Structure 1
Amino acid sequence: MKSIFEKDLIAACIRQDRKAQFELFERYKVALYSTVYRILDDEAEAHDALQESFIEIFKGIKKFRGESTLGAWMKKIAVRKAIHMTKKRIYFSSLDQVDAFSEAGVLDGWIDGQMLDQAIRKLPVGCRSVFLMIEVEGFKHAECAQMLSISESTSKSQLFYAKKLLRESLNQVLKA
Protein backbone atom coordinates (compact mmCIF):
# COMPACT_ATOMS: atom_id res chain seq x y z
CA MET A 1 0.00 0.00 0.00
CA LYS A 2 1.42 3.38 -0.95
CA SER A 3 1.84 5.93 1.77
CA ILE A 4 -1.43 7.74 2.35
CA PHE A 5 -2.20 10.94 4.14
CA GLU A 6 -2.88 10.67 7.86
CA LYS A 7 -6.51 11.77 7.58
CA ASP A 8 -7.21 9.09 4.96
CA LEU A 9 -5.31 6.53 7.01
CA ILE A 10 -7.40 7.31 10.09
CA ALA A 11 -10.63 7.06 8.09
CA ALA A 12 -9.55 3.69 6.67
CA CYS A 13 -8.63 2.43 10.14
CA ILE A 14 -12.05 3.48 11.43
CA ARG A 15 -13.55 1.31 8.66
CA GLN A 16 -11.28 -1.49 9.99
CA ASP A 17 -9.33 -1.70 6.75
CA ARG A 18 -6.58 -4.22 7.58
CA LYS A 19 -4.10 -2.71 5.12
CA ALA A 20 -4.54 0.72 6.68
CA GLN A 21 -4.14 -0.74 10.15
CA PHE A 22 -0.93 -2.44 9.04
CA GLU A 23 0.30 0.85 7.54
CA LEU A 24 -0.42 2.65 10.80
CA PHE A 25 1.35 -0.08 12.76
CA GLU A 26 4.39 0.07 10.47
CA ARG A 27 4.60 3.87 10.74
CA TYR A 28 4.54 3.99 14.52
CA LYS A 29 5.73 0.63 15.89
CA VAL A 30 9.38 1.61 16.38
CA ALA A 31 8.65 4.89 18.15
CA LEU A 32 6.01 3.38 20.41
CA TYR A 33 8.11 0.31 21.21
CA SER A 34 11.02 2.55 22.13
CA THR A 35 8.78 4.54 24.46
CA VAL A 36 7.29 1.54 26.27
CA TYR A 37 10.63 -0.26 26.46
CA ARG A 38 12.27 2.71 28.18
CA ILE A 39 9.50 2.70 30.78
CA LEU A 40 9.34 -1.07 31.30
CA ASP A 41 13.01 -2.01 30.71
CA ASP A 42 11.90 -5.49 29.70
CA GLU A 43 11.62 -6.68 26.09
CA ALA A 44 8.78 -9.15 26.64
CA GLU A 45 6.70 -6.66 28.61
CA ALA A 46 7.45 -3.96 26.03
CA HIS A 47 6.18 -6.21 23.23
CA ASP A 48 3.04 -6.96 25.26
CA ALA A 49 2.50 -3.26 25.96
CA LEU A 50 2.97 -2.44 22.28
CA GLN A 51 0.46 -5.08 21.23
CA GLU A 52 -2.08 -3.96 23.83
CA SER A 53 -1.53 -0.34 22.81
CA PHE A 54 -2.31 -1.05 19.17
CA ILE A 55 -5.41 -3.02 20.12
CA GLU A 56 -6.61 -0.01 22.10
CA ILE A 57 -5.59 2.36 19.30
CA PHE A 58 -7.55 0.43 16.68
CA LYS A 59 -10.58 0.13 18.94
CA GLY A 60 -10.51 3.80 19.89
CA ILE A 61 -9.32 5.51 16.72
CA LYS A 62 -12.84 6.74 16.00
CA LYS A 63 -12.49 8.82 19.19
CA PHE A 64 -9.38 10.60 17.88
CA ARG A 65 -10.42 14.26 17.59
CA GLY A 66 -7.26 15.66 16.07
CA GLU A 67 -6.53 17.96 19.01
CA SER A 68 -2.94 16.69 18.87
CA THR A 69 -0.99 14.79 16.28
CA LEU A 70 -1.92 11.17 15.73
CA GLY A 71 1.53 10.16 16.94
CA ALA A 72 1.15 12.09 20.20
CA TRP A 73 -2.30 10.56 20.79
CA MET A 74 -0.92 7.07 20.17
CA LYS A 75 2.12 7.71 22.37
CA LYS A 76 -0.13 8.73 25.25
CA ILE A 77 -2.01 5.44 24.92
CA ALA A 78 1.26 3.49 24.83
CA VAL A 79 2.65 5.32 27.87
CA ARG A 80 -0.55 4.59 29.80
CA LYS A 81 -0.32 0.90 28.86
CA ALA A 82 3.29 0.70 29.98
CA ILE A 83 2.55 2.49 33.21
CA HIS A 84 -0.44 0.26 33.84
CA MET A 85 1.88 -2.73 33.50
CA THR A 86 4.25 -1.28 36.09
CA LYS A 87 1.57 -0.21 38.60
CA LYS A 88 2.15 -3.24 40.81
CA ARG A 89 5.91 -2.85 40.85
CA ILE A 90 6.27 0.92 41.01
CA TYR A 91 7.75 2.06 44.27
CA PHE A 92 8.08 5.75 44.86
CA SER A 93 10.81 6.63 47.33
CA SER A 94 9.81 8.60 50.35
CA LEU A 95 10.03 12.36 50.14
CA ASP A 96 12.33 12.34 53.18
CA GLN A 97 14.94 10.45 51.19
CA VAL A 98 14.72 12.93 48.35
CA ASP A 99 15.09 15.91 50.66
CA ALA A 100 18.28 14.39 52.08
CA PHE A 101 20.06 14.79 48.71
CA SER A 102 21.65 18.00 47.57
CA GLU A 103 21.72 19.39 44.06
CA ALA A 104 25.55 19.40 44.12
CA GLY A 105 27.60 17.01 42.08
CA VAL A 106 28.08 18.07 38.48
CA LEU A 107 29.47 15.40 36.18
CA ASP A 108 33.25 15.45 35.93
CA GLY A 109 33.91 13.95 32.51
CA TRP A 110 32.48 12.79 29.22
CA ILE A 111 29.60 10.34 28.88
CA ASP A 112 28.02 8.70 25.85
CA GLY A 113 24.46 7.58 25.11
CA GLN A 114 25.11 4.00 26.15
CA MET A 115 26.42 5.07 29.56
CA LEU A 116 23.38 7.29 30.07
CA ASP A 117 20.99 4.53 28.96
CA GLN A 118 22.54 2.07 31.41
CA ALA A 119 22.30 4.59 34.24
CA ILE A 120 18.64 5.26 33.44
CA ARG A 121 17.89 1.53 33.47
CA LYS A 122 19.34 1.28 37.00
CA LEU A 123 16.88 3.85 38.36
CA PRO A 124 14.04 2.58 40.55
CA VAL A 125 10.91 2.05 38.43
CA GLY A 126 9.03 5.05 39.82
CA CYS A 127 11.91 7.46 39.29
CA ARG A 128 12.65 6.02 35.87
CA SER A 129 9.02 6.38 34.77
CA VAL A 130 8.84 10.01 35.85
CA PHE A 131 12.25 10.84 34.38
CA LEU A 132 11.40 9.34 31.00
CA MET A 133 7.96 10.89 30.84
CA ILE A 134 9.18 14.39 31.74
CA GLU A 135 12.67 14.58 30.25
CA VAL A 136 12.41 12.24 27.27
CA GLU A 137 8.75 12.21 26.25
CA GLY A 138 8.08 15.86 27.15
CA PHE A 139 5.04 15.42 29.38
CA LYS A 140 4.27 18.08 31.98
CA HIS A 141 4.33 17.19 35.67
CA ALA A 142 0.53 17.44 35.84
CA GLU A 143 0.12 14.94 32.99
CA CYS A 144 2.73 12.63 34.46
CA ALA A 145 1.10 12.77 37.88
CA GLN A 146 -2.31 11.99 36.43
CA MET A 147 -1.07 9.00 34.42
CA LEU A 148 0.88 7.58 37.38
CA SER A 149 -1.85 8.35 39.94
CA ILE A 150 0.54 10.39 42.07
CA SER A 151 0.60 14.02 43.15
CA GLU A 152 2.34 16.66 41.08
CA SER A 153 4.77 17.29 43.94
CA THR A 154 5.66 13.58 44.01
CA SER A 155 6.33 13.76 40.27
CA LYS A 156 8.65 16.71 40.83
CA SER A 157 10.47 15.07 43.73
CA GLN A 158 10.87 11.81 41.79
CA LEU A 159 12.39 13.73 38.88
CA PHE A 160 14.79 15.46 41.28
CA TYR A 161 15.69 12.10 42.84
CA ALA A 162 16.16 10.47 39.42
CA LYS A 163 18.54 13.23 38.33
CA LYS A 164 20.46 12.91 41.59
CA LEU A 165 20.83 9.15 41.15
CA LEU A 166 21.86 9.58 37.52
CA ARG A 167 24.57 12.09 38.48
CA GLU A 168 25.89 9.73 41.16
CA SER A 169 25.82 6.70 38.88
CA LEU A 170 27.53 8.48 35.99
CA ASN A 171 30.15 10.04 38.26
CA GLN A 172 31.00 6.55 39.57
CA VAL A 173 31.41 5.27 36.02
CA LEU A 174 33.64 8.22 35.11
CA LYS A 175 35.84 7.72 38.17
CA ALA A 176 36.31 4.02 37.43
Structure 2
Amino acid sequence: MLALWTSGCSTRTGPAESPPASPADTRQAAFPDSPPESAHCQGKVFGHNDIPHPQLGTVRVFLVVRPQAGNLNAGCVAAVAAGGQVLPTIDVETMPYALQFADPVTDSTGNAFITFNPGRYDGVLVLVPSPHGFEDIGWNDSVQHLGGRLAYYDADLQGIGADGRYTIRQDRNTCIPNCATGTIPSLTLHWNGLQYVP
Protein backbone atom coordinates (compact mmCIF):
# COMPACT_ATOMS: atom_id res chain seq x y z
CA MET A 1 0.00 0.00 0.00
CA LEU A 2 1.31 3.48 -0.91
CA ALA A 3 2.41 5.60 2.06
CA LEU A 4 2.99 9.37 1.91
CA TRP A 5 5.66 10.78 4.17
CA THR A 6 4.97 14.20 5.71
CA SER A 7 6.89 15.82 8.56
CA GLY A 8 8.39 12.49 9.57
CA CYS A 9 4.93 10.86 9.99
CA SER A 10 3.34 8.17 7.89
CA THR A 11 -0.03 8.91 6.33
CA ARG A 12 -1.84 6.06 4.57
CA THR A 13 -4.07 6.63 1.59
CA GLY A 14 -6.82 4.40 3.08
CA PRO A 15 -8.03 3.12 6.45
CA ALA A 16 -5.70 0.88 8.43
CA GLU A 17 -6.33 -2.79 7.80
CA SER A 18 -5.48 -5.76 9.96
CA PRO A 19 -4.47 -9.01 8.29
CA PRO A 20 -7.35 -11.46 7.81
CA ALA A 21 -7.64 -14.23 10.38
CA SER A 22 -6.66 -17.67 9.20
CA PRO A 23 -9.28 -20.46 9.44
CA ALA A 24 -7.38 -21.94 12.41
CA ASP A 25 -7.56 -18.59 14.26
CA THR A 26 -11.31 -18.35 13.62
CA ARG A 27 -11.91 -21.90 14.86
CA GLN A 28 -9.89 -21.31 18.02
CA ALA A 29 -11.90 -18.19 18.83
CA ALA A 30 -15.26 -19.91 18.26
CA PHE A 31 -14.93 -22.81 20.71
CA PRO A 32 -14.40 -22.95 24.48
CA ASP A 33 -11.70 -25.11 26.11
CA SER A 34 -14.26 -26.88 28.31
CA PRO A 35 -18.01 -27.44 28.17
CA PRO A 36 -20.14 -24.48 29.28
CA GLU A 37 -22.11 -24.87 32.51
CA SER A 38 -25.34 -25.21 30.55
CA ALA A 39 -24.07 -28.55 29.20
CA HIS A 40 -24.29 -30.03 32.74
CA CYS A 41 -21.03 -31.89 32.06
CA GLN A 42 -18.56 -30.44 34.54
CA GLY A 43 -15.45 -32.33 35.62
CA LYS A 44 -12.00 -33.15 34.30
CA VAL A 45 -11.78 -32.74 30.53
CA PHE A 46 -9.91 -35.74 29.12
CA GLY A 47 -9.91 -34.41 25.59
CA HIS A 48 -11.83 -32.65 22.87
CA ASN A 49 -12.11 -33.09 19.13
CA ASP A 50 -13.52 -30.84 16.41
CA ILE A 51 -15.60 -32.93 14.06
CA PRO A 52 -17.60 -32.11 10.92
CA HIS A 53 -21.39 -32.10 11.25
CA PRO A 54 -23.59 -32.06 8.11
CA GLN A 55 -26.15 -29.59 9.52
CA LEU A 56 -24.23 -27.63 12.16
CA GLY A 57 -20.79 -27.28 10.58
CA THR A 58 -17.88 -28.04 12.86
CA VAL A 59 -18.81 -29.25 16.35
CA ARG A 60 -16.41 -29.49 19.30
CA VAL A 61 -16.96 -32.66 21.34
CA PHE A 62 -15.62 -32.93 24.91
CA LEU A 63 -14.87 -36.06 26.92
CA VAL A 64 -15.33 -35.38 30.64
CA VAL A 65 -15.06 -37.49 33.80
CA ARG A 66 -17.14 -36.22 36.71
CA PRO A 67 -15.95 -36.44 40.31
CA GLN A 68 -18.02 -39.12 42.09
CA ALA A 69 -18.12 -40.70 45.53
CA GLY A 70 -17.40 -44.39 45.97
CA ASN A 71 -16.59 -46.59 43.01
CA LEU A 72 -18.84 -44.89 40.49
CA ASN A 73 -17.14 -43.95 37.23
CA ALA A 74 -19.34 -41.21 35.80
CA GLY A 75 -18.40 -39.61 32.54
CA CYS A 76 -20.15 -37.45 30.00
CA VAL A 77 -19.80 -36.40 26.40
CA ALA A 78 -20.67 -32.77 25.70
CA ALA A 79 -20.71 -30.93 22.39
CA VAL A 80 -20.86 -27.30 21.28
CA ALA A 81 -21.54 -26.00 17.77
CA ALA A 82 -19.46 -23.17 16.33
CA GLY A 83 -22.26 -20.67 16.89
CA GLY A 84 -22.29 -21.46 20.61
CA GLN A 85 -25.24 -23.86 20.56
CA VAL A 86 -24.89 -26.46 23.35
CA LEU A 87 -25.96 -29.93 22.23
CA PRO A 88 -27.57 -32.53 24.53
CA THR A 89 -25.05 -34.20 26.84
CA ILE A 90 -24.53 -37.97 26.86
CA ASP A 91 -23.89 -39.61 30.25
CA VAL A 92 -21.73 -42.73 30.35
CA GLU A 93 -20.31 -44.99 33.06
CA THR A 94 -16.59 -45.36 32.39
CA MET A 95 -13.14 -45.62 33.87
CA PRO A 96 -11.39 -42.28 33.29
CA TYR A 97 -8.53 -43.68 31.17
CA ALA A 98 -10.96 -45.56 28.92
CA LEU A 99 -13.02 -42.61 27.68
CA GLN A 100 -11.31 -41.87 24.37
CA PHE A 101 -11.91 -40.80 20.81
CA ALA A 102 -11.34 -43.33 18.05
CA ASP A 103 -8.44 -42.54 15.74
CA PRO A 104 -9.65 -41.34 13.31
CA VAL A 105 -12.74 -40.16 15.17
CA THR A 106 -15.05 -40.31 12.12
CA ASP A 107 -15.40 -42.61 9.14
CA SER A 108 -17.10 -42.34 5.75
CA THR A 109 -20.56 -42.74 7.33
CA GLY A 110 -20.10 -39.34 9.02
CA ASN A 111 -20.56 -40.96 12.43
CA ALA A 112 -18.11 -40.26 15.26
CA PHE A 113 -16.81 -42.95 17.62
CA ILE A 114 -15.87 -42.90 21.31
CA THR A 115 -14.69 -45.84 23.40
CA PHE A 116 -15.46 -46.40 27.08
CA ASN A 117 -15.09 -49.05 29.77
CA PRO A 118 -17.17 -49.05 32.99
CA GLY A 119 -14.71 -51.39 34.68
CA ARG A 120 -14.88 -54.77 32.98
CA TYR A 121 -15.44 -54.75 29.23
CA ASP A 122 -14.86 -52.14 26.54
CA GLY A 123 -17.69 -50.42 24.75
CA VAL A 124 -18.27 -48.15 21.76
CA LEU A 125 -20.47 -45.05 21.60
CA VAL A 126 -21.55 -43.93 18.16
CA LEU A 127 -22.43 -40.27 17.65
CA VAL A 128 -24.81 -40.14 14.70
CA PRO A 129 -25.43 -36.60 13.38
CA SER A 130 -29.01 -35.33 13.51
CA PRO A 131 -30.43 -31.89 12.60
CA HIS A 132 -30.20 -30.78 16.23
CA GLY A 133 -26.96 -32.48 17.26
CA PHE A 134 -26.63 -36.24 17.62
CA GLU A 135 -29.14 -39.07 17.79
CA ASP A 136 -30.20 -40.29 21.22
CA ILE A 137 -27.87 -43.09 22.38
CA GLY A 138 -30.94 -44.96 23.64
CA TRP A 139 -29.44 -46.45 26.80
CA ASN A 140 -31.31 -49.64 27.72
CA ASP A 141 -30.09 -49.59 31.34
CA SER A 142 -30.53 -46.21 33.00
CA VAL A 143 -28.44 -47.24 36.03
CA GLN A 144 -25.38 -48.86 34.49
CA HIS A 145 -25.34 -47.23 31.03
CA LEU A 146 -23.76 -50.34 29.55
CA GLY A 147 -25.54 -50.62 26.22
CA GLY A 148 -28.18 -49.08 24.03
CA ARG A 149 -29.31 -48.44 20.47
CA LEU A 150 -26.05 -46.61 19.64
CA ALA A 151 -23.94 -47.87 22.56
CA TYR A 152 -22.31 -51.25 22.15
CA TYR A 153 -20.97 -52.95 25.29
CA ASP A 154 -18.34 -55.70 25.29
CA ALA A 155 -17.36 -54.38 21.88
CA ASP A 156 -14.36 -53.05 19.92
CA LEU A 157 -13.97 -50.97 16.78
CA GLN A 158 -12.54 -52.75 13.75
CA GLY A 159 -11.13 -51.08 10.64
CA ILE A 160 -11.33 -48.68 8.97
CA GLY A 161 -12.02 -51.04 6.03
CA ALA A 162 -11.65 -50.60 2.29
CA ASP A 163 -15.11 -48.99 2.23
CA GLY A 164 -13.89 -46.24 4.57
CA ARG A 165 -16.07 -47.52 7.42
CA TYR A 166 -15.55 -48.94 10.87
CA THR A 167 -17.27 -52.15 11.89
CA ILE A 168 -17.96 -53.10 15.51
CA ARG A 169 -17.07 -56.50 16.89
CA GLN A 170 -19.32 -57.38 19.82
CA ASP A 171 -19.12 -60.43 22.08
CA ARG A 172 -22.41 -61.72 23.47
CA ASN A 173 -22.64 -64.34 26.20
CA THR A 174 -25.45 -66.79 25.43
CA CYS A 175 -25.79 -67.57 29.18
CA ILE A 176 -26.72 -71.15 28.23
CA PRO A 177 -26.81 -73.12 30.47
CA ASN A 178 -25.69 -70.15 32.63
CA CYS A 179 -23.64 -66.99 32.18
CA ALA A 180 -20.57 -68.46 33.91
CA THR A 181 -20.27 -71.29 31.39
CA GLY A 182 -22.16 -69.91 28.40
CA THR A 183 -20.54 -69.55 24.99
CA ILE A 184 -19.48 -66.08 23.84
CA PRO A 185 -19.84 -65.77 20.08
CA SER A 186 -18.52 -62.66 18.33
CA LEU A 187 -20.71 -60.65 16.01
CA THR A 188 -19.44 -58.21 13.40
CA LEU A 189 -21.82 -55.28 13.21
CA HIS A 190 -22.19 -53.08 10.11
CA TRP A 191 -23.86 -49.68 9.72
CA ASN A 192 -27.29 -49.93 8.04
CA GLY A 193 -28.08 -46.23 8.05
CA LEU A 194 -29.78 -46.31 11.45
CA GLN A 195 -27.66 -48.51 13.69
CA TYR A 196 -25.09 -51.31 13.65
CA VAL A 197 -26.47 -54.76 12.90
CA PRO A 198 -24.97 -58.21 12.15
TM bucket (normalised to shorter chain) is under 0.3
Task: Find the structure with the greater CA-based Rg.
Answer: 2
Going by fraction, where is strand more abundant, 1 or 2? 2
Of structures 1 and 2, the one with the larger relative CO (CA 8 A, separation 6+) is 1
Going by fraction, where is helix more abundant, 1 or 2? 1
The TM-score normalised by the length of structure 1 is 0.26
The TM-score normalised by the length of structure 2 is 0.24
